[in-house]
């Protein structure tokens, strides 16, 4: 049975463009400013390519990001409502951005204009391919014939089991974003310390530990999946990376060898998230007993 609703999300989900298309998602591109020019962060990189973005910030350019604006949400949502379809709105974590608050304003305005239609907004409390994995799983539920309300209820429950574990290669990007103090960043850089971070139940970025050296930090991500995942061999694991595909593939290999994970999807950390994590970030996402 065809479901009469569309899943709308934003480009901080970092899904591969072809997968978003296959899942029939509507994706709002968030924006960033780099070198005095504003770019829309489309999943296919049509305005700024991912390698180009990371190359430029490696050269010292500073990217500035902004939450979605109301007009953006209205422009992507209104045609769906006009076509007689409802909307499940899965939005970037309110713990990291005000994008969710903007989405609520858009939903309220459009609900008044189209009272016969349903718009169900969800604060995913997720980011990057953690948000992407939640959206992917919601789209699969939709494909199995679940109703708008059923999928919304499923997402509200499962988002607290969506594990985000990641490490960065350059601490200075977290320092710039206020996630680490200057002294910690400088000492950590000098000693080759790599933080291991996650996103908590409030959707905030939390420093959970540290590893000495790059390989140890990548192994620590896999250790977390071994500790927390529910039936890892039956899951689809998502890995996102900041222009360091070989490191992402190293994590994939460990997942398959150690945990028997059969399906892994790898994609870039897009420019909106990458502006805050920098080149070299590697993140692992999966469903667990808890975040």
pLDDT, one tens digit per residue, over 214-255 is 999 999 999 999 999 999 999 999 999 999 999 999 999 999
Quick check: 41 pLDDT over 70? yes
Give me the residues paired with residue 288 across strands: 229
Fold for 5-160, please state it.
Answer: Rossmann fold (3.40.50)
Same-fold call for 5-160 versus 161-287: no
Quote the tokens at residue 199. 């996103």
Instruction: Quote the pLDDT of residue 189.
Output: 60
- The pTM assigned to this predicted structure is 0.94
Mean pLDDT over 114-126 rounds to 98
Summarised one tens digit per residue, pLDDT across range 73-113 is 999 999 999 999 999 999 999 999 999 999 999 999 999 99
DSSP-derived letter for residue 143 is H
Give me the CATH code for the 161-287 domain, please: 3.30.1180.10
Question: How many CB atoms neighbour CB 267 within 10 A?
Answer: 22
pLDDT of residue 170: 72
* The pair of three-digit structure tokens given for residue 30, joined into one six-digit string: 């968030």
Strands (E), the chain: 5-10, 26-28, 30-34, 37-41, 64-66, 86-91, 119-123, 162-167, 193-199, 205-212, 236-241, 263-268, 282-287
Structural domain spans, the chain:
5-160, 161-287
- The mean per-residue pLDDT over the stretch 115-140 comes to 98
């Amino acid at each position: 049975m065809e479901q009469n609703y569309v899943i709308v999300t934003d480009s901080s989900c970092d899904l591969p463009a072809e997968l978003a298309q296959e899942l029939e998602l509507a994706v709002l591109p968030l924006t960033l400013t780099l070198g005095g020019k504003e770019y829309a962060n489309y999943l296919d990189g049509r305005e700024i390519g991912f390698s180009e973005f990371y190359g430029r910030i490696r050269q010292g350019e500073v990217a500035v990001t902004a939450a979605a604006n109301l007009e953006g949400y209205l422009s992507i949502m209104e045609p769906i409502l006009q076509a007689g379809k409802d909307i499940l709105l899965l939005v970037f974590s309110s713990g990291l951005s005000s994008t969710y608050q903007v989405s609520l304003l858009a939903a309220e305005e459009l609900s008044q204009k189209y009272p016969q239609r349903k718009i169900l907004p969800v604060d995913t409390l997720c980011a990057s391919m953690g948000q992407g994995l939640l959206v992917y799983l919601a789209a699969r539920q939709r494909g199995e014939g679940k109703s708008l309300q059923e999928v919304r209820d499923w997402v509200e429950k499962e988002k607290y089991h969506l594990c985000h574990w990641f490490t960065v290669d350059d601490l200075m990007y977290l320092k710039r974003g206020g996630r680490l103090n200057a002294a910690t960043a400088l000492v950590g850089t000098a000693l080759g310390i790599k933080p291991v971070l996650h996103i908590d139940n409030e959707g905030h970025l939390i420093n959970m530990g540290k590893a000495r050296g790059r390989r140890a930090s990548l192994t620590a991500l896999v250790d977390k999946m071994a500790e927390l995942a529910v039936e890892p061999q039956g899951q689809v694991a998502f890995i996102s990376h900041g222009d360091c595909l070989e490191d992402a593939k190293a994590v994939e290999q460990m997942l398959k060898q150690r945990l028997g994970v059969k399906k892994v999807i790898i994609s870039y950390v897009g420019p909106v998230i990458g502006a805050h994590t920098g080149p070299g970030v590697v993140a692992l996402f999966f469903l667990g007993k808890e975040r």
